Structure 1
Amino acid sequence: MLERLAALRAADAPTHGGHVLSYVYDPGLAEVDELAAAAMRAVQPVNGLDPTTFTSVAVMERELVGFARAVLHGPTDGPDVVVGSVTSGGTESCLLAVKAARDAFRARHGDRPGVRPRVVVAASAHAAFRKAAQYLDVTLTTLPVDPASGLPDAAAYVAELDRRSVDGGRDVALVVVSAPSYPHGVVDPVAEVAAAAHERGVDVHVDACVGGWVLPFWGAAGGGQVPPFDFAVPGVTSISADVHKYGYAPKGTSVLLVRGRDRQRRQFFATTAWPGYPVVNAGMSGSRPAGPLAAAWAVSQALGTEGYTALTARCVRATRALHAAVGQLDGLRVVGSPTGPLIAVATDESVPAERRVDPHVWADAARARGWVLQPQPGLTQGDGTRLPHTTHLTVTPVTEATLDDLVPALAASADEVRGVGRPDTSGVLAALGAVSPAPAAAGGPALAAPTSDEMWAALLTALDTDGGSPRRGTGAVLPDRLAPLMAVMESLPGPVAERLLVEILARVAEPLDDAAPGA
């Protein structure tokens, strides 16, 4: 079985070595990986559900939360004491922050007919908040960001804070700002938004899932000034920070820190209303593995502030080098002025069409050379402005060691596709349009959505995968070139594009007809 697993893993994108500039965070230190693996193995049978039975869980969580609190300047006593918990990842941390704010809003305001608590986010906020709104029955208000800088306007947050609901009262339960936002790598105006929200008694969550374990060390590592974003900012009430990103721990561990014990307790679930053991959970799950916690605890304790600062310095140098390299590529540009190790690259519209480089076509050319960049579709915002489609680069410490190969590959890829336009999506849209319900006439019946099989057949036709399905080799469904799929996603109505994504992911994991245990 281990030989089979090794064969399956051989088909994966490489998790080490810096050739994948998204999803994985490689410190370039084999001993860190070895330490994490040993820590996970040591607690493999432990159930994190009950830290009173498995007391090691309580100690590790306490010390990991304490480390995060220290680097994010959380008070250690008094009514503003910062407390926290370890979750399975950034999405769970964000969901819990929304739940706590929703429940606090309901406790303060009681039953107000027709009024649902609102969460105000920027368009660049992580999709986890859209999931939270759907799961937790809150209204999400999305603010546009500037297409040039990727930043939201603090004044727009203030306007939403002051907007009255149907009963004349305020209905904002939480505002969310990012440090930095994943799509563009820029830090939102945290201090300005937090000041306005604090004045109005509204909670503020800082989504530092990607930045929480690197921005605290960025300045000391030579990266320059970081805009204020943590608990040193008055009005910030919670912060999410993923240890499995720039904390260099295995997936999945995140820390959710909250200002004030009473506020943090609202994220918990507890019940005695059944005949079994009393149930109390700090997060979404009941039983939970202790392995990721142990690995995160061990890695953070071993690296400490000095180790994280040294690794961040490597990120700083690599990020600067890539900024400069992209700046030399005719037809491409870096979006905004990122703070931290994330870069978004878009087409430079200021040059003639024959000199422009499409970032998704560029990413496909780089993939053919062995470098995996992450395409991001464009977005038309609620105010009608258009965010350009981009390619995302996550820079990690190991990136510095790859620059002599990476930079020429990026340049050669740009040269190869310069002047090449986006893929033609007309045939794709025709294939998908044939199975997508047309809008119902005003007052008429809703038209049935396509079945899974209809959507799948249209996808295979649209992407010209030659009958590709989970039966093929490793289970890969998507073609090697992602630019056509990204272009299709942007062209389709949102619900159809989302339905298509569901079908892709669901089909990848479907059992094969001839699958059997041990086969």
Structure 2
Amino acid sequence: MNLPDTGRATDDLLAEIARLRAHDLPVRGGQVTAYVYDTGRAEVHEAAAHAYFEMLEVNTLDPTAFPSVVEMERQVVGAVADLLGGGHGIFTNGGTESIMLAVKAARDGSRVAGRPNMVVPVTAHPAFHKAAHYLGVEVRAVPVDLVTYRVEPEAVEAAIDGDTVLVVVSAPSYPQGVVDPVEKVAALARDRGVACHVDACVGGWLLPWLREAGADVPAFDLSVPGVTSISCDLHKFGYAPKGASVVLFADPATRRRAYFASGAWPGYTVINATVQSSKSAGPLAGAWATLQALGRDGYLELGRATLRAATRLREGVAAIPGLRVLGGQESSLVAFAGDDVDVFVLSDEARRRGWFIQPQLSYAGIPANLHVTVTGVTLRGVEAMLEVIAESAAAARSRGPAVLPDGLVELIAGLDLDALDDATFAELAASVGIDLTSRDQPEMAVVNAVLDALPARVREAILVRFLSVIYSGT
């Protein structure tokens, strides 16, 4: 039984949390190069945690009941607007929610005759596909240049038709860390009367500081003519606790289209600025405190350290035999592929040495590669990281690529997954050496190699079953 008969003491609960986290990746120190963002300044994270706790039980559902929420949001959104060309914003609990609201606003502001569609680069974040799925919008994915990894404006223009409600560009795109040609795409969208959203969830609170630190960063924000909305995650390079994001709109009328209101019931007044209704003000307070604790000088210092670390990492990786860096230098997202090195095996070897380097699957002509998100703390350990990457590359070359059992990919591709229950799927995975029930950090080279060999739709179906299995019993 999951619920105890009697209440447990706080010390007992904290001890169990520590036990449950024994196999988690560390969230501080820079050895996990994805998912977490670290300033290296403990006092900043502590200030955010205290502020989060102070507002934990405040419900943002009704801002008239808790005016502190309004004031904090005005300050946080105002800081983002000051940095990104103005606009009118909404604080959300993450980039996906910000993107969902941008897509909703574009859809509701259009008057298309058929099914609405949006044009996105193949490198655009899957949150756009998720928003499209929820909101009944068709996704039209267009290619990127396979040298620069930026979307091709001509391809975007060719995909726009009378039912297009939104065009998307990234600043930067996550996979290779490059900024799409925002000015060109926004101009052609404006000429066609279509909204243009800049996904700056990663770069919105990074690129301006990198530019100030000396990086060559192109224009990408609401100051660019034709850009109608932009998203910016503060729980990434704003270093706020999860989940904290802002979506800005060029005009208040578009922001209003992101809202939802319902008067068709006899209960309390329902007006929501976000997808969620009731939610804690903790993330908002955490973001507010982080911005206040760091200030302009703090973020500029982090920007300088991040730029130096990213430059050194690119140089160091390029010097390792068999590895090559993908993409440009305008952000601090670094991706690299292997010529005679299996990058999935390299990733496992790095994990053996205490480092998590994120694998990325091949897609649309872009090779399988590894991804490093360089943050403010990375500079302290960049030489150690490069040593681990070099050692892991040599070990991966010696081991050779991940070996898949004959016929496994074809077997999986031909499975009727709907006919398998979770237990049978787990047994099938175990039969080829993949234990989905283990809490230990697994070797993932074979898993990633299988996924890499499958079409995207089959990958998606397999991943859904994987998630279902690891949460089985809940």
The answer to whether the superposition gives a TM-score over 0.5 is: yes
Quick one: which amino acid aligns to residue 424 of structure 1? V
Which residue is equivalent to 2:8?
Answer: none
Which residue is equivalent to 1:54?
Answer: 66
Question: Are 2:13 and 1:8 aligned?
Answer: no
**Secondary structure of residue in 2 paired with 1:418:** helix
Instruction: Give yes or no for contact 1:432–1:455 (8 Å, CA) kept in 2.
Output: no
**Secondary structure of residue in 1 paired with 2:204:** coil
Which residue is equivalent to 1:351?
Answer: none
Which residue is equivalent to 2:7?
Answer: none
Which residue is equivalent to 2:449?
Answer: 487
1:227 aligned residue (211, 214, 218) = 218
Encode CA deviations 1:218-241: one digit per residue, 9 max, x unaligned: 12113x210110011101000000
Instruction: Give yes or no for contact 2:202–2:237 (8 Å, CA) kept in 1.
Output: yes
Which residue is equivalent to 1:92?
Answer: 97
Which residue is equivalent to 1:130?
Answer: 129
1:195 aligned residue (179, 187, 192) = 187
In 1, the alpha carbon distance for the partners of 2:278 and 2:333 equals 34
1:416 aligned residue (383, 386, 395) = 395
User: Once the 2 structures are TM-superposed, how far is the Cα of residue 435 of structure 1 from its aligned partner?
Assistant: 7.1
Unmatched segments (≥5 aa) in structure 2 = 1-12
Quick one: which amino acid aligns to residue 86 of structure 1? F
Encode CA deviations 1:355-384: one digit per residue, 9 max, x unaligned: x222221111111111100000001x3xxx
User: Once the 2 structures are TM-superposed, how far is the Cα of residue 208 of structure 1 from its aligned partner?
Assistant: 0.3
User: Once the 2 structures are TM-superposed, how far is the Cα of residue 148 of structure 1 from its aligned partner?
Assistant: 2.3
In 2, the alpha carbon distance for the partners of 1:362 and 1:88 equals 34
Unmatched segments (≥5 aa) in structure 1 = 75-81, 164-169, 349-355, 438-446, 513-519
Instruction: Give yes or no for contact 1:121–1:143 (8 Å, CA) kept in 2.
Output: yes
Which 10-residue stretch deviates more, 96-105 or 299-308?
299-308
Which residue is equivalent to 2:462?
Answer: 500
Residues 130 and 403 (structure 1 numbering): CA distance in 2 closer, same or farther, change over 3 Å? same
Quick one: which amino acid aligns to residue 379 of structure 2? E
**Secondary structure of residue in 2 paired with 1:151:** coil
Residues 361 and 195 (structure 1 numbering): CA distance in 2 closer, same or farther, change over 3 Å? same
User: Once the 2 structures are TM-superposed, how far is the Cα of residue 177 of structure 1 from its aligned partner?
Assistant: 0.2
User: Once the 2 structures are TM-superposed, how far is the Cα of residue 394 of structure 1 from its aligned partner?
Assistant: 0.4
Which residue is equivalent to 1:157?
Answer: 156
Residues 268 and 511 (structure 1 numbering): CA distance in 2 closer, same or farther, change over 3 Å? same
Quick one: which amino acid aligns to residue 27 of structure 1? T
Which residue is equivalent to 1:140?
Answer: 139
Map 1:25-64 to 2 at 5 A: 25-64=37-76
Map 1:59-70 to 2 at 5 A: 59-70=71-82
User: Once the 2 structures are TM-superposed, how far is the Cα of residue 459 of structure 1 from its aligned partner?
Assistant: 1.8
Question: Are 2:88 and 1:83 aligned?
Answer: yes
**Secondary structure of residue in 1 paired with 2:258:** coil
**Secondary structure of residue in 2 paired with 1:426:** coil
Instruction: Give yes or no for contact 1:428–1:462 (8 Å, CA) kept in 2.
Output: no
Instruction: Give yes or no for contact 2:88–2:248 (8 Å, CA) kept in 1.
Output: yes
In 1, the alpha carbon distance for the partners of 2:60 and 2:104 equals 22
In 2, the alpha carbon distance for the partners of 1:118 and 1:426 equals 41
Encode CA deviations 1:246-269: one digit per residue, 9 max, x unaligned: 000000010000011111101111
Which 10-residue stretch deviates more, 409-418 or 25-34?
409-418
Map 1:299-338 to 2 at 5 A: 299-338=290-329
1:239 aligned residue (198, 214, 230) = 230
1:339 aligned residue (330, 333, 352) = 330
Encode CA deviations 1:60-93: one digit per residue, 9 max, x unaligned: 001000000001121xxxxxxx111111100011
Instruction: Give yes or no for contact 1:378–1:387 (8 Å, CA) kept in 2.
Output: yes
TM-score normalised to structure 2 length: 0.94
Which residue is equivalent to 2:206?
Answer: 214
Which residue is equivalent to 1:77?
Answer: none
Quick one: which amino acid aligns to residue 416 of structure 1? A
1:103 aligned residue (96, 100, 108) = 108
User: Once the 2 structures are TM-superposed, how far is the Cα of residue 497 of structure 1 from its aligned partner?
Assistant: 2.0
In 2, the alpha carbon distance for the partners of 1:155 and 1:328 equals 35
In 2, the alpha carbon distance for the partners of 1:15 and 1:22 equals 10
Instruction: Give yes or no for contact 2:84–2:221 (8 Å, CA) kept in 1.
Output: yes
Which residue is equivalent to 1:516?
Answer: none
In 2, the alpha carbon distance for the partners of 1:398 and 1:428 equals 44
Q: Identity of counterpart residues, as a percentage?
A: 46
**Secondary structure of residue in 1 paired with 2:130:** helix
User: Once the 2 structures are TM-superposed, how far is the Cα of residue 281 of structure 1 from its aligned partner?
Assistant: 0.4
Instruction: Give yes or no for contact 1:242–1:255 (8 Å, CA) kept in 2.
Output: yes
Question: Are 2:359 and 1:375 aligned?
Answer: yes
Residues 510 and 449 (structure 1 numbering): CA distance in 2 closer, same or farther, change over 3 Å? closer
Question: Are 2:425 and 1:455 aligned?
Answer: yes
Instruction: Give yes or no for contact 2:106–2:195 (8 Å, CA) kept in 1.
Output: yes
2:346 aligned residue (362, 384, 387) = 362
Aligned length: 462
Residues 428 and 13 (structure 1 numbering): CA distance in 2 closer, same or farther, change over 3 Å? farther
User: Once the 2 structures are TM-superposed, how far is the Cα of residue 450 of structure 1 from its aligned partner?
Assistant: 3.2
Question: Are 2:378 and 1:399 aligned?
Answer: yes
Encode CA deviations 1:333-376: one digit per residue, 9 max, x unaligned: 0102132110111123xxxxxxx222221111111111100000
Instruction: Give yes or no for contact 1:435–1:450 (8 Å, CA) kept in 2.
Output: no
Which 10-residue stretch deviates more, 135-144 or 413-422?
413-422
1:179 aligned residue (132, 146, 171) = 171
User: Once the 2 structures are TM-superposed, how far is the Cα of residue 434 of structure 1 from its aligned partner?
Assistant: 8.8
**Secondary structure of residue in 1 paired with 2:432:** helix
User: Once the 2 structures are TM-superposed, how far is the Cα of residue 393 of structure 1 from its aligned partner?
Assistant: 0.4
Which 10-residue stretch deviates more, 44-53 or 400-409?
400-409
Which residue is equivalent to 1:515?
Answer: none
Which 10-residue stretch deviates more, 139-148 or 416-425?
416-425
**Secondary structure of residue in 2 paired with 1:424:** coil
Encode CA deviations 1:284-335: one digit per residue, 9 max, x unaligned: 1010110000010111122222211111111011101101110111101010
Instruction: Give yes or no for contact 1:184–1:344 (8 Å, CA) kept in 2.
Output: yes
Encode CA deviations 1:202-222: one digit per residue, 9 max, x unaligned: 100000000011101112113
